[in-house]
Amino acid sequence: MSRAPSPLGKDLIGLEELSAEQIESILNTAEPFKEISERRIKKVPVLRGKTIVNLFMEPSTRTRISFEFAEKRLSADTVNISASGSSVQKGETLVDTARNLEAMRIDMVVIRHPSSGAARFLADRIPSNVINAGDGSHEHPTQALLDLLTIRDHRESIRGLKVCIVGDILHSRVARSNIFGLLKLGAEVGVCGPKTLIPAGIQDLGVTIFRRIEEAIEWSDVLNILRLQLERMQGGFVPSLREYNRVFGVTIPRLEAAPQDILILHPGPMNRGVEIDSDVADGPQSVILKQVTNGVAVRMAVLYLLAGGAPERAEAAKKGEMA
Ligand code: CP
């Protein structure tokens, strides 16, 4: 594969730092990689010889497993590390953990961490490529990229679309990455949720605030529904889960009242019956599992580009041709 400098730079920390062209380039690179996962033998030699560490200091199902699939389908060697069972439990710092991994000659680190800023902190201290797989309430760039790819698959263009992010915006790295990505690609962005879960000053980013879910639904082409992050709340943000569902829950009757056909996204994990009812999550407007499928292709694209792959060579790389 080409050893040219990556069009993304050394690391992927957030969409705030990327240009519209860089975001488009990742999405376009993901397109040919989608097909690899549909093959009987799901493997190409794009990252042969690369060693990637998945350092997950917080629980994850979708992100951790889809990064691992993406790495294996590109033929990288992978190691998974979690907080439990590693020397982090004995008090080892993040940088010491990473330096010890580097001493074993790794190429990339995919990191999920409960602290906002952890991915940038690490990227500034080690020469390996660092990919942010979600840091505190800062950013979750690959989630937003897969959301963008899924919207693009189902609507002609992201430019001009009205996308409303619903729910716990305050604690959500997914919301922040989506806002940056959607605005850069020309969408109009709304947010909707209880006052306690909408960060002060968010309208300065260029988003419209909706206080009522009915108004948000009437306005939107796409709803991206977020989980109430109960583990990040100290209590008192919502009166009760039942009350949250009554006032902000996305339900079939509410969607049926909308004049337009709305696309339904959710990054998962879902609290069914809280922010989203099951018949919406499993209904015809939902593309939630398509988001998960696209997550593998997007992560393949990010790994390929950070390793120095050229966007215009992605089609050849998927056929196993080396540059
Ligand atoms: N969407 C997402 O980040 O899910 P996981 O926490 O399961 O990775």
**Mean pLDDT on 167-188:** 97
Nearest residue (by CA) to ligand 1, atom 4, is 62
Cα of 168 vs centre of ligand 1, distance in Å, is 15
Any idea which residues carry the catalytic annotation?
62-63, 90, 112, 140
CB environment 75-98: b (16+ within 10 A), e (fewer): ebebeebbbeeeebeeeeebeebb
| Residues paired with residue 210 on neighbouring β-strands, in sequence order | 192
Nearest CA to ligand 1 atom 5: 60
Reported pTM? 0.95
Q: Whose CA is nearest to atom 6 of ligand 1?
A: 60
Q: Which atom of ligand 1 is nearest to the CA of 133?
A: 3
Q: CA 248, CA 130: separation in Å to the nearest integer?
A: 37
Separation CA 50–CA 136 (nearest Å): 28
Mean predicted confidence (pLDDT) in 151-156: 96
Give me ligand 1 centre to Cα 144, in Å: 11
Dihedral angle sign, alpha carbons of residues 251, 255, 261, 263: negative
Q: What is the number of the ligand 1 atom nearest to the C-alpha of 140?
A: 3
Q: Ligand 1 centre and the CA of 60: distance in Å?
A: 5
Residue 49 CA to ligand 1 centre (angstroms): 28
If you average pLDDT over every residue of the chain, what do you get?
94
Nearest atom (ligand 1) to Cα of 65:
8
The number of C-alpha atoms within 13 Å of 293 and in the hemisphere containing its C-beta is: 12
What are the tens digits of pLDDT across the range 62-89? Answer: 999 999 999 999 999 999 999 888 888 8
- Residue in 143, 172, 178 to alter for ligand 1 test, most ligand atoms within 8 A of Cβ: 143
For residue 59, the ligand 1 atom closest to its alpha carbon is: 6
Overall average pLDDT of the 286-301 stretch: 98
Q: Give the model's pLDDT for residue 228.
A: 85
**Alpha carbons 323 and 310: distance in angstroms, whole number:** 9
Stretch 314-323: mean pLDDT = 80
E strand segments, the chain:
51-56, 77-82, 108-113, 129-135, 162-166, 188-192, 208-210, 222-225, 263-265
Name which residue leads in pLDDT, 294 or 84.
Answer: 294
The residue whose C-alpha atom lies closest to atom 3 belonging to ligand 1 is: 63
Residue 267 Cα: closest atom of ligand 1 = 1
Strand pairing category for 162-166 and 51-56: unpaired
68 C-alpha to ligand 1 centroid (Å): 13
Q: Which residue among 57, 62, 165, 231 is best mutated to probe the pocket of ligand 1, counting the most ligand atoms within 8 A of its Cβ?
A: 62
CA–centroid distance, residue 62 to ligand 1 (Å):
5
Given a cut of 70, whether residue 226 has pLDDT beyond it is yes
| Beta bridge partners of residue 12, listed in sequence order | 131
Q: Which residues on adjacent β-strands are paired with residue 216?
A: none
Task: Give the pocket of ligand 1 (CB within 6 Å).
Answer: 60-63, 134, 140, 143, 267-269
Max mean pLDDT among 12-26, 94-108, 238-252, 305-319 falls in 12-26
